[in-house]
Chains A and B, each alone.
Chain A
């Protein structure tokens, strides 16, 4: 039986792990490579690194970080943050990333999904979607959640699937950083519409929230940041609780 995945997410700024509340007010959470090693040893199934640095040196530092991470951990990892071109995707995959997460760039240039999927396989292309409730629907936001595109998030996710994305990383901007639980309504709707895995992100505050995302909204994976960074939830405890609830997870070994 395929197991549900637990994915700690590391937001990186200037080479350090940070975590914001509603995309603002960043707190420092440490050295990303050390944190990645810790998660890998504690039973995380995958890791996601999102670089939110906005400087010119970013590309080089991100590549260097990917090389270091690939050397230190042996679970799969995704890297994202401002990736715009096929060349950038190739550089990061060649440096050791397993997947790249694409967000604003695919809204502006959706063909990047097709091209990336054709060149590197669907499994390497993660479409990250930041969705925010606007009236009765959800809109797609870009540029770190600062710009409303006016696009319908559910329609957009069906389009990224058609174009060849291998997975969707769906962040609820209403819930991100709030620890109020995932947006189950959104998750459930998406999971009825698409046939590629959906990673639930935004709002994890405790173990029950993660259990609910799987049991009530059929999330294929749950992603969280601060509850893991600040040890509010241990991955081992989360996995044990999921098992108790009848959710298949990779057993914690060490």
Chain B
């Protein structure tokens, strides 16, 4: 039972680590960006707050872009991206048009329009679950999750049949969570959303970590 939180200098790794420990105290959690260690764990978390371009730069600095693509696509390593970490799963972002994301899920990330509500989108908001095929949102207490972001993936129509997702409305409709087989992403912070958030982390761990 071993998981890695990918430590590339862009995420609130302590809160995530604490949340995983709360879900299962037995799990061995490592914080790392070393390829060798990432290879050896059962599953990966990609946290992240901040700027898309800066995050891509950091990932490149540790040669993680191609490495993660290969690990996830060819070796089927489960990966859970949170907030900016979910945005990085997509192809690109308006926030930094010249930086390429991991391209694991089709679509781009764009800025919220500024009306009628204020941006950034900060606080608890309610998600609408679109498809119950996936496992992420099974047995969750409530659909209220903590969001803090100014950009979001909005191309719901680009998600293919392999994807389950939930959506949320804030000035624009956007993808709140996505589950494409072993690739999971949440725009909200499960580690900051109390019991419902811990439930999602638990679902991921129960499914992929033995």
- A40 / chain B contacts, CB cutoff of 8 Å: 194
Measuring CB to CB, which residues of chain B are less than 8 angstroms from any residue of chain A? Answer: 12, 14-15, 18-19, 22, 49-51, 54, 84, 114, 117-126, 141-142, 144, 146-150, 170, 189, 191-195, 197-198
- Are B150 and A122 neighbours in the complex by a CB distance under 8 Å? yes
Contact with B along A182-204 (1 / 0, CB 8 A): 00000000000001110000000
- Are B120 and A122 neighbours in the complex by a CB distance under 8 Å? yes
A interface, over-half SS: loop
- B14 / chain A contacts, CB cutoff of 8 Å: 67, 70-71, 94-96
Q: What are 8 A-B contacts with C-beta separation under 8 Å?
A: A2-B121, A74-B191, A93-B49, A96-B12, A98-B148, A122-B120, A123-B49, A195-B118
Known pairs A74-B191, A74-B193; A123 contacts B125 (CB<8 A): no
- A123 / chain B contacts, CB cutoff of 8 Å: 49, 120, 122, 148-150
- A67 / chain B contacts, CB cutoff of 8 Å: 14
Does A251 make an interface contact (CB < 8 A)? yes
- B15 / chain A contacts, CB cutoff of 8 Å: 70, 74, 96, 98
Measuring CB to CB, which residues of chain A are less than 8 angstroms from any residue of chain B? Answer: 1-5, 40, 45, 67, 70-72, 74-76, 93-98, 118-124, 166-167, 195-197, 220-221, 250-251, 253
Distance of A52 Cα from B142 Cα, bound (Å): 37
Pick the contact of A76: B118, B119, B192 (CB < 8 A).
B192
- Are A121 and B50 neighbours in the complex by a CB distance under 8 Å? yes
Known pairs A3-B123, A3-B125, A96-B12; A120 contacts B49 (CB<8 A): yes
Pick the contact of B49: A4, A121, A197 (CB < 8 A).
A121
Pick the contact of A3: B120, B144, B197 (CB < 8 A).
B144
Known pairs A197-B118, A197-B122; A98 contacts B149 (CB<8 A): no
- B189 / chain A contacts, CB cutoff of 8 Å: 76
Instruction: Return the chain A residue nearest B117 by Cβ.
Output: A2
Distance of A70 Cα from B54 Cα, bound (Å): 24
Known pairs A74-B194, A96-B12, A250-B144; A5 contacts B124 (CB<8 A): yes
Instruction: Return the chain B residue nearest A72 by Cβ.
Output: B18
